[in-house]
Amino acid sequence: MKIHFEGLRVLAVSATFAVAFALPVPAFSQTSPVIRVSTDLVNIYASVLDASGQPVIGLTKDDFQISENGASQKIARFESQTARPLDLALMIDTSASEYSDLRFEAEAADQFIAKVVRPGDSLGFFEFDEDVTQIGPFTDDVRQLQANVHRMQPGAGTSLFDAVVLGSKALARLPEGRRRAIIIVTDAGETTSVSKFEEARRRAIVSGALLYSIIVNPVQNENGRNTGGEHALITITDSTGGAIFYLHDVRQLSEMFARIDRELRTQYLIGYYPNPAPPPASDRHVLLTVKGNYTVQYKKEYFAAAVQE
């Protein structure tokens, strides 16, 4: 598995946790060691949608309830329509099965970049076929990003899991305290990844990024739908938050990009200090509910930090 950056191979480095816990501080006595753990704030970004899929704004802290692994949590931080800077990994499938749609996808991505990227944000553009290639660095330079989009080249296979892994790692290397999202446009026909599904799922969760999956003209085979990559994206999207969309006409892509932009700009931030403190390296499950007949999209899972000696 490799990722190219401006034609050069870049070694993937380990992702940092999006939700981190302070390292245990050992306190030694003459009898046995005592481990003290302080718990850091867990931040959850949530999109609240009405029955027509439109963002719901104007809710207050009292409208939300949150629990972790079944234990109710006290909301310690609340921001309505948070304006925190946004880091995006925009990833477009350039495999042979997507060749006829590339021109439309490039035009839609061009418009999306112009609308979503604001000063202080950053966007990194990736294309993926049998390899994953990052075209240019993360930046808020809209003109440069638009130029990068039009440098896409068609390839052969589809390394969907590798794309999720490497996009997640790239976001995890960026400064913390910012919002993160991966937007992936694909037919979901996984064929050539080195990474496995579970690695892709864990990397996406650890990165703290919401996953927005846009499946264009889903792949067919002689036995019906080739659903392996599609089911993987559904599962990862459910764990990380975000949403999954199906398009049967690539000309609908601009509409989907506009919807994602609306959701990202109307997010709520809910923060809490986990009580009880989670065991090191444990898999934590979050349940967020809101008053009213609304749908809530949010990160449902994270991993507590492991103890380091």
Please tell me the distance from the alpha carbon of residue 213 to that of residue 200, in angstroms, as a whole number: 14
Q: Report CA torsion sign: 153, 251, 213, 106.
A: positive
- pLDDT the model gives residue 98: 74
CB 152 within 8 A of CB 106: yes
7-52 residue pLDDT tens: 333 333 333 333 333 344 444 344 444 434 446 899 999 999 999 9
DSSP state of 304: P
- pLDDT the model gives residue 32: 40
- Count of domains forming the chain: 1
57-101 residue pLDDT tens: 999 999 999 999 999 999 999 999 888 899 999 999 998 877 778
- Non-local (6+) Cβ contacts of 269 within 8 A are 43, 44, 45, 46, 77, 78, 79, 82, 84
In this structure, what is the dihedral angle of CA atoms 250, 251, 252, 254, given to the nearest 10 degrees? Answer: 110
Q: What residues make up the domain containing 144? A: 1-309
Phi/psi of residue 171, each to 5°? -65, -40
Q: Nearest to residue 175, comparing CAs of 47, 108, 87?
A: 87
**CATH code of the domain containing 277:** 3.40.50.410
Q: What is the mean pLDDT of the chain?
A: 85
DSSP string, 28-67: --SS--EEE---PPEEEEEEEE-TTSPBP----GGGEEEE
Query: Collapsing DSSP states into helix, strand and coil, what is residue 282?
Result: coil
Average pLDDT (279-294) is 96
Nearest-5° Cα angle at 99, 96 to 104: 155
CB 244 within 8 A of CB 233: yes
96-143 residue pLDDT tens: 877 778 888 999 999 999 999 999 999 999 999 999 999 999 999 999
- pLDDT the model gives residue 15: 36
pTM above 0.85? no
- pLDDT the model gives residue 309: 52
- pLDDT the model gives residue 220: 57
Average pLDDT (176-180) is 92
Least confident residue range of 34-38, 144-148, 168-172: 34-38
The structure tokens listed for 170 are 């790239």
- Non-local (6+) Cβ contacts of 252 within 8 A are none
Mapping DSSP onto H, E and C, the string for 145-211 reads HHHHHCCCCCCCCCCHHHHHHHHHHHHHCCCCCCEEEEEEEECCCCCCCCCCHHHHHHHHHHHCCEE
**226 pLDDT exceeds 70?**
no
pLDDT greater at residue 308 or residue 43? 43
- pLDDT the model gives residue 295: 95
Cβ neighbours around 35 below 10 Å, total: 10
Peptide bond into 154 cis (omega under 30): no
- pLDDT the model gives residue 50: 96
**302 pLDDT exceeds 90?**
yes
- pLDDT the model gives residue 130: 95
**270 pLDDT exceeds 70?**
yes
